[in-house]
């Protein structure tokens, strides 16, 4: 659905995006992450037809964004990383304005607007002035706006930034709902734990270059070669460390305050041998939990903190 | 001792302005436009001085002794020209510089933050005013070498240079303070600029003119010639008017002794009055800024507007429920909603969109949402106009040609000013409200956007031309203006609107800030219709060669005010209004016989076509630039 080939964008002599190759399948939620100034927003703006690439190509739904901008805009809902509200319009009028701008038929507008208002929990604000809404409400209104023409693709730049935890959870629920509706979503966020729960694929960009693109599992494969297991026992911790360290599938055992952190070798089991060893040694096993590699950890390992 | 005194002065200055002064200077030193402004200002001033000088000493036929004897006179003329140039230009610069001084802080939401610091509100106001004043003084100072060179030739007393500089400086102080005052009341800088210019026109032109009429009526009511009381009253009034003061001062420079016949004249007194007025304005500014800052700290986003928040709506939809209205969504149970009373009450006021969305928005967006501002904006100008017409009527001058020319010139300038400002703002307003990328991410074409914006400009600027058309219509019916003037002036208005709208949209597409676009559009008008004709006149006077009417041709072809005067000179007044159409003979400012009404109509249509075409080209350029520098 979204594809870039050798996409490059320069601002004067500054390379914002360099040779970016992306491929996002239809119906996917693609998390686009990277440090500030990495090139995420520039990429999204190119895909939204608001910037022209210096070289390379980008296409959405098979249409080149640089040459067929108008057709691309019809299938894309773009939400920038800032609020854009007209002072003098009410919520319903604002949405109707964009509905008309996207060519939604007059007869369908009211139902469509009511639908997106309901989806974003803004029904009660229909007659409120747009600029009187709180930040969270305005963020929801932006989401309602991008949905107004039922686009196939949503490009959401930091949709949850600056929102309180409740609003963030609501936005996350909303995005899940949109995925169920079959939308292809490209989303950037600094809150990686949220992306982790939503995204099928993740792209990590730094210094304008894509350093990784793939599924979360592929990230773990790439950076999390070792799986960690958290072990809590009722017996002697030192004895347990001694016993586990000699097991062939265990690489390192670290004694923490009240538990052990066991790092398994590549291709190691899920910790069954650890449990068996401890039980056979008559050590009370209270807890054995595999520790999954977090997206935050992967991000830190894959990026160097380089910014423009 | 000296160091201690300097320390005390620095301490007092620091107390007066706080850290705002240094912050403003630091910020302005990083803005390229300030350097560009200084460069343009000095460039224009130099060209102006050189041309005036050449026009004064051009004659090569006279002897060297005669030419040397003329040096002092030439020096006086140059100094006078430079003084007036600085006086007018610097006041305009002061108004523009301070037009966003407070509204900018409100817009960036920094005013509320300032309130949380120990900085006092008067320090904010003084810091902003004095930092801009310092920059104006730099502009004044960079012209000093020019003045010094000219003064070498003699004929210009130092006290005149001092008086003119002080009058200019204090006029700038007042202009800046008034601009700052309005920047508290209005969110947009261009509104502040236009209101400040309007206030200046009322203060310095309309009010003195009305007072003069009153004084004249009182002076002549006794039957005899006006006495010294009338003269003293007029001179007293002039001490509150920097234009009048500079006029008197330069009159004394050119004709020494002329002031003696006028009566009491004291430029220090004038400066004192201006300073007192500035202090009053600053006091009001401090009071208002505090109010606005408190509002912002309390969460209000506007400058002087408070929008009531609706109570939060009850959440009735279960998580995961999709909206039935969204295409592609599966059918879902109807959610149970409990509407809030306020939302229900307001729902009735929603206006439904018809036709082109952008055109709909442009046509319904008001200039201001504030009812108070609307009332004030209508009542004050109407009251002033009513008093003016009543006074002119009382003096029996309504049937005179010059009266109507005066009114029409003022209305033309006002209409052009409003059109220039309104035309330059719709695109930049989108950029400033950060809606521009959203609009450009819709399938609306560039052409659609530009033409809808142009329609919005026409809708918003009509009120600027309404007084002109109303004046023409009323006095054509009364019989003081020939009806053909209505047609000619209508054509004139059409081309001015078309030209300024096209140019304004182009500058809007070209620049990010409304103030920059407005200043550029106004600057284009001033350059084409004021600066170029003046320079052309000077050039023609300097370089002889049988092209003396070039300046007249240029002004007649391009300048709407000149065209308005030509059109009214033949059709206004009780004598002209009753003449048959065939007898009218328009004297255009070039050699040759007067033109008939038919020829003048054809000429006006030609002017309108050319200027409208240029406006159209500007609009095309705006379209081409629409997707550049979006962010």
Is residue A139 domain-shared with residue A188, that is, in the same domain? yes
pTM as predicted: 0.78
In a domain, A286, yes or no: yes
Residue of B315, B357, B438, B447 to mutate for A, most A C-beta atoms under 10 A: B438
Residue predicted with more confidence, B370 or B483: B483
CATH of the domain at A285: 3.30.70.100
Residue B433 CB contacts under 8 Å (≥ 6 apart), including other chains:
A84, A85, A86, A87
Beta carbons of B521 and B421 less than 8 angstroms apart: yes
**A307 Cα to chain B: minimum distance (Å):** 20
What pLDDT is recorded for position A224?
Answer: 60
Residue A216 pLDDT class (50, 70, 90 cuts): confident
pLDDT exceeds 90 at position A46 = yes
Is residue A191 domain-shared with residue A258, that is, in the same domain? no
Query: What's the total number of domains in chain A?
Result: 2
Q: State residue A69 phi and psi, 5-degree precision.
A: -55, -45
Residue B26 pLDDT class (50, 70, 90 cuts): confident
- Pick the residue from chain B with its C-alpha nearest to A175: B320
Instruction: With CB atoms and an 8 Å threshold, state whether A173 touches B319.
Output: yes
Residue A67 CB contacts under 8 Å (≥ 6 apart), including other chains:
none
B366 neighbourhood in chain A, CB within 8 Å = 88
CB nearest A115 (choices: B314, B326, B439): B326
In a domain, A162, yes or no: yes
What pLDDT is recorded for position B59?
Answer: 56
What pLDDT is recorded for position B315?
Answer: 41
Is residue A109 domain-shared with residue A243, that is, in the same domain? no
| Positions of E strands within A25-61 | 29-33, 55-60
Instruction: With CB atoms and an 8 Å threshold, state whether A84 touches B631.
Output: no
Q: B308-326: per-residue pLDDT in tens?
A: 333 444 444 444 444 444 4
Beta carbons of B180 and B285 less than 8 angstroms apart: yes
Residue predicted with more confidence, B615 or B51: B615
Q: What is the mean pLDDT of residues B235-239?
A: 82
Mean pLDDT of all residues belonging to chain B: 80
Is residue A27 domain-shared with residue A151, that is, in the same domain? yes
Report yes or no: A296 at the B interface, CB cutoff 8 Å.
Answer: no
**ipTM surpasses cut 0.85:** no
Beta carbons of B408 and B569 less than 8 angstroms apart: no
CB nearest B357 (choices: A100, A116, A177): A100
What pLDDT is recorded for position B143?
Answer: 72
What pLDDT is recorded for position B223?
Answer: 62
Residue B66 pLDDT class (50, 70, 90 cuts): low
Residue A114 pLDDT class (50, 70, 90 cuts): very high
What pLDDT is recorded for position B321?
Answer: 45
Report yes or no: A44 at the B interface, CB cutoff 8 Å.
Answer: no
In a domain, A304, yes or no: no
Q: B467-479: per-residue pLDDT in tens?
A: 999 999 999 999 9
Q: What percentage of chain B carries pLDDT values higher than 90? A: 28
Mean pLDDT of all residues belonging to chain A: 84
Q: What is the mean pLDDT of residues A25-54?
A: 90
Return the C-alpha torsion angle A24, A29, A32, A33, nearest 10: -140
Highest mean pLDDT among A158-167, B302-311, B584-593: B584-593
Whole-angstrom distance, CA of residue A195 vs CA of residue A174:
13
CATH of the domain at A131: 3.40.50.300
Structure tokens given for B299:
């969460």
Is residue A168 domain-shared with residue A246, that is, in the same domain? no
**A250 Cα to chain B: minimum distance (Å):** 43
Q: Which residues pair with A33 in a beta bridge?
A: A204
Instruction: With CB atoms and an 8 Å threshold, state whether B322 touches A84.
Output: no
A218, A236, A263 — which closes off a domain?
A218
Q: What is the mean pLDDT of residues B74-100?
A: 84
Residues 60-119 of A with CB under 8 A from B: 70, 73-74, 76, 78, 80, 82-90, 92-93, 96-98, 100-103, 109, 111-119
Residue predicted with more confidence, A110 or A292: A110
Residue B499 pLDDT class (50, 70, 90 cuts): very high
Q: What is the mean pLDDT of residues A104-119?
A: 90
Which helix H or strand E contains B120, and what residues bound it? none
Is residue A199 domain-shared with residue A263, that is, in the same domain? no
Choice among A46-60, A113-127, B210-224 with the minimum mean pLDDT? B210-224
Beta carbons of B480 and B574 less than 8 angstroms apart: yes
Q: What is the mean pLDDT of residues B14-31?
A: 78
* DSSP single-letter state for residue A1: -
**B300 Cα to chain A: minimum distance (Å):** 9
Is residue A172 domain-shared with residue A264, that is, in the same domain? no
Beta carbons of A42 and A9 less than 8 angstroms apart: yes
**B325 Cα to chain A: minimum distance (Å):** 4
**A53 Cα to chain B: minimum distance (Å):** 13
CB nearest B443 (choices: A73, A115, A125): A73
Instruction: With CB atoms and an 8 Å threshold, state whether B310 touches A113.
Output: no
Instruction: With CB atoms and an 8 Å threshold, state whether A131 touches B307.
Output: yes
Instruction: With CB atoms and an 8 Å threshold, state whether B310 touches A128.
Output: yes
**What is the distance in angstroms between the CA of the first residue and the CA of the last residue of chain B?**
55
What pLDDT is recorded for position B624?
Answer: 93
Is residue A155 domain-shared with residue A210, that is, in the same domain? yes
Handedness of CA B67, B68, B72, B76 (dihedral sign): positive
Residue B300 pLDDT class (50, 70, 90 cuts): low
**B238 Cα to chain A: minimum distance (Å):** 44
CB nearest A88 (choices: B340, B366, B627): B366
What is the C-alpha radius of gyration for chain A, rounded to an integer number of angstroms?
A: 24
A100 neighbourhood in chain B, CB within 8 Å = 353, 356-357, 360
What pLDDT is recorded for position B619?
Answer: 96
Residue B465 CB contacts under 8 Å (≥ 6 apart), including other chains:
B411, B415, B419, B493, B497
In a domain, A59, yes or no: yes
Is residue A150 domain-shared with residue A208, that is, in the same domain? yes
What pLDDT is recorded for position B493?
Answer: 96
- From the list B176, B192, B145, B155, the residue with the least C-alpha distance to B80 is B155
Instruction: With CB atoms and an 8 Å threshold, state whether A98 touches B328.
Output: no
Instruction: With CB atoms and an 8 Å threshold, state whether A84 touches B350.
Output: no
pLDDT exceeds 90 at position B106 = no
pLDDT exceeds 90 at position B618 = yes
Instruction: With CB atoms and an 8 Å threshold, state whether A97 touches B339.
Output: no
- Pick the residue from chain B with its C-alpha nearest to A182: B328
What pLDDT is recorded for position B57?
Answer: 67
Choice among A68-72, B254-258, B358-362, B380-384 with the minimum mean pLDDT? B254-258
Q: A226-257: per-residue pLDDT in tens?
A: 577 888 888 788 888 888 888 888 888 888 87
Report yes or no: A12 at the B interface, CB cutoff 8 Å.
Answer: no
Q: Establish, for the pair of chains A and B, how many residue pairs have beta carbons separated by less than 8 Å.
A: 164
- Pick the residue from chain A with its C-alpha nearest to B322: A119
- Pick the residue from chain B with its C-alpha nearest to A42: B631
Q: Which long-range contacts (CB under 8 A, 24 or more apart) does B328-336 make?
A: B328/A150, B328/A181, B328/A182, B329/A115, B329/A181, B330/A181, B335/A118
Is residue A76 domain-shared with residue A147, that is, in the same domain? yes
Highest mean pLDDT among A261-270, B119-128, B167-176: B167-176
What is the length of chain B?
Answer: 631
B335 neighbourhood in chain A, CB within 8 Å = 118
Structure tokens given for B456:
């919005």
Q: B537-546: per-residue pLDDT in tens?
A: 777 777 665 5
Crossing angle of helices A135-147 and A165-180, in 10° steps, is 10
Instruction: With CB atoms and an 8 Å threshold, state whether B627 touches A177.
Output: no
Highest mean pLDDT among A136-145, B394-403, B445-454: B445-454
Residue predicted with more confidence, B270 or A218: B270
Residue of B298, B304, B323, B432 to mutate for A, most A C-beta atoms under 10 A: B323
A184, A218, A252 — which closes off a domain?
A218
pLDDT exceeds 50 at position B338 = no
Instruction: With CB atoms and an 8 Å threshold, state whether B328 touches A182.
Output: yes
Q: B213-224: per-residue pLDDT in tens?
A: 777 777 776 666
Is residue A80 domain-shared with residue A114, that is, in the same domain? yes
In a domain, A306, yes or no: no
CA atoms within 13 A on the CB side of B307: 19
Instruction: With CB atoms and an 8 Å threshold, state whether B361 touches A112.
Output: no
Q: B582-598: per-residue pLDDT in tens?
A: 888 998 888 778 889 99
Instruction: With CB atoms and an 8 Å threshold, state whether B361 touches A97.
Output: yes
User: What residues make up the domain containing A268?
Assistant: 226-292
Q: What is the mean pLDDT of residues B351-357?
A: 82
Residues 161-190 of A with CB under 8 A from B: 173, 176-177, 180-182
Beta carbons of B274 and B173 less than 8 angstroms apart: yes
Instruction: With CB atoms and an 8 Å threshold, state whether B442 touches A116.
Output: no
pLDDT exceeds 80 at position A305 = no
Is residue A231 domain-shared with residue A213, that is, in the same domain? no
What pLDDT is recorded for position A264?
Answer: 79
In a domain, A301, yes or no: no
Instruction: With CB atoms and an 8 Å threshold, state whether A112 touches B325.
Output: yes
A218, A243, A275 — which closes off a domain?
A218
Whole-angstrom distance, CA of residue A61 vs CA of residue B595:
65
Residue B552 CB contacts under 8 Å (≥ 6 apart), including other chains:
B588, B589, B590
Structure tokens given for B116:
């949380």
In a domain, A302, yes or no: no
Instruction: With CB atoms and an 8 Å threshold, state whether B313 touches A122.
Output: yes
Residue predicted with more confidence, A196 or A280: A280
Q: B50-63: per-residue pLDDT in tens?
A: 777 777 666 555 66
In a domain, A13, yes or no: yes
Whole-angstrom distance, CA of residue B106 vs CA of residue B245:
37
Q: What angle do CA B422, B427, B428 make, to 5 degrees?
A: 90
């Amino acid at each position: 659905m979204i594809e870039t080939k050798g996409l490059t964008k320069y601002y004067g002599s500054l390379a914002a995006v360099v040779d970016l190759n992306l491929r996002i399948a239809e119906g996917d939620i693609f998390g686009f992450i990277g440090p500030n100034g990495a090139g995420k927003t520039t990429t999204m703006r190119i895909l939204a037809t608001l910037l022209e690439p210096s070289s390379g190509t980008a296409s959405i739904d098979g249409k080149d964004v640089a040459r067929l901008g108008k057709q691309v805009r019809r299938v894309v809902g773009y939400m920038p990383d800032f609020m854009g509200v007209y002072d003098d319009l009410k919520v319903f009028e604002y949405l109707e304005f964009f509905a008309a701008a996207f060519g939604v038929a007059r007869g369908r507008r009211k139902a469509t607007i009511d639908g997106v208002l309901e989806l974003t929990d803004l029904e009660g604000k229909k007659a409120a002035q747009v600029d009187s809404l709180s930040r969270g409400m305005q963020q929801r209104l932006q989401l309602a706006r991008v949905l107004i023409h039922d686009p196939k693709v949503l490009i959401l730049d930091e949709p949850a930034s600056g929102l309180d935890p409740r609003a963030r959870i609501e936005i996350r629920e909303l995005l899940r709902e949109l995925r169920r509706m079959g939308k292809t979503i490209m989303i950037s966020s600094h809150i990686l734990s949220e992306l982790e729960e939503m995204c099928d694929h993740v792209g990590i960009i730094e210094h304008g270059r894509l350093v990784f693109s793939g599924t979360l599992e592929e990230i773990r494969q790439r950076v999390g070669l070792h799986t960690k297991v958290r072990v809590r026992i009722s017996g002697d911790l030192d004895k347990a460390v001694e016993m586990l360290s000699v097991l062939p599938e265990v690489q390192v055992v670290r004694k923490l305050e009240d538990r052990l952190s066991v790092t398994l070798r590549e291709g190691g089991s899920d910790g069954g041998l650890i449990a068996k060893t401890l039980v056979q040694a008559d050590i009370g096993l209270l807890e054995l939990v595999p520790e999954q590699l977090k997206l935050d950890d992967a991000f830190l390992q894959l990026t160097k903190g380089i910014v423009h | 001792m000296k160091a201690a005194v300097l320390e005390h002065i620095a301490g007092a200055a620091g107390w007066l302005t706080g850290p705002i002064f240094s912050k403003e200077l630091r910020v302005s030193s990083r803005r390229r436009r300030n350097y560009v402004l200084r460069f343009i200002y000095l460039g224009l001033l130099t060209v102006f001085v050189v041309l005036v000088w050449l026009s004064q000493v051009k004659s090569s036929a006279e002897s060297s002794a005669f030419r040397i004897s003329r040096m002092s006179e030439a020096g006086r003329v140059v100094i006078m020209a430079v003084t007036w140039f600085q006086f007018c230009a610097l006041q305009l610069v002061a108004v523009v510089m301070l037009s966003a001084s407070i509204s900018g802080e409100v817009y960036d939401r920094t005013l509320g933050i300032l309130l949380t610091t120990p900085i006092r509100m008067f320090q904010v106001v003084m810091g902003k005013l004095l930092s801009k004043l310092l920059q104006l003084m730099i502009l004044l100072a960079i012209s000093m070498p020019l003045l010094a060179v000219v003064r070498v030739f003699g004929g210009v007393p130092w006290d005149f240079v001092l008086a003119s500089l002080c009058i200019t400086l204090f006029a700038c102080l007042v202009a800046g303070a008034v601009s700052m005052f309005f920047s508290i009341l209005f969110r947009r800088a261009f509104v502040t600029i236009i209101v400040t210019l309007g206030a200046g026109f009322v203060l310095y032109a309309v009010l003195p003119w009305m007072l003069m009429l009153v004084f004249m009526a009182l002076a002549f009511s006794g039957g005899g010639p006006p006495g010294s009381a009338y003269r003293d009253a007029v001179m007293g009034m002039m001490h509150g008017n920097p234009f009048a003061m500079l006029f008197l001062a330069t009159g004394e420079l050119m004709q020494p002794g002329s002031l003696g016949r006028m009566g009491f004249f004291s430029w220090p007194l004038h400066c004192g009055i201006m300073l007192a007025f500035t202090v009053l304005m600053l006091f009001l500014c401090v009071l208002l800024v505090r109010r606005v800052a408190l509002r912002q700290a309390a969460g209000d986003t506007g400058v002087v507007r408070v929008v009531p928040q609706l109570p939060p709506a009850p959440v009735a939809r279960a998580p995961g429920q999709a909206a039935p209205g969204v295409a592609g969504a599966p059918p879902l149970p109807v959610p149970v909603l409990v509407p809030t009373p306020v939302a229900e009450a307001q729902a009735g006021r929603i206006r439904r969109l018809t036709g082109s969305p952008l055109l709909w928005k442009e046509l319904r967006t008001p200039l201001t949402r504030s009812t108070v501002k609307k009332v004030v904006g209508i009542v004050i100008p109407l009251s002033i106009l009513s008093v003016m017409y009543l006074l002119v009527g009382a003096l029996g001058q309504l049937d005179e040609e010059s009266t109507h020319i005066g009114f029409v010139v003022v209305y033309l300038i006002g209409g052009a000013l409003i059109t220039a400002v309104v035309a330059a703002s719709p695109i930049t307003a989108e950029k400033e409200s950060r809606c521009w990328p959203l609009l450009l991410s819709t399938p609306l074409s560039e052409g659609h956007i530009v033409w809808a914006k142009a329609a919005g400009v026409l809708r918003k600027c009509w009120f600027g031309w309404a007084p002109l058309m109303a004046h023409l219509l009323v006095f054509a019916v009364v019989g003081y203006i020939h009806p053909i003037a209505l047609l000619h002036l209508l054509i004139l208005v059409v081309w001015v609107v078309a030209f300024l709208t096209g140019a304004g949209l182009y500058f809007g597409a070209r620049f990010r800030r409304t103030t920059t676009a407005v200043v550029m559009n106004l600057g284009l008008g001033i350059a084409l219709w004021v600066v170029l004709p003046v320079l052309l006149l000077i050039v023609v006077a300097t370089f002889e060669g049988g092209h003396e009417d070039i300046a007249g041709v240029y002004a007649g072809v391009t300048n709407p005010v000149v065209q308005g005067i030509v059109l009214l000179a033949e059709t206004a007044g009780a004598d002209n209004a009753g003449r048959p159409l065939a007898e009218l003979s328009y004297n255009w400012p070039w050699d040759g016989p007067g033109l008939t009404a038919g020829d003048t109509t054809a000429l006006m249509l030609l002017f309108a076509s050319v200027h409208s075409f240029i406006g159209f080209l500007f609009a095309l350029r705006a379209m081409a630039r629409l997707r550049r520098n979006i962010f």
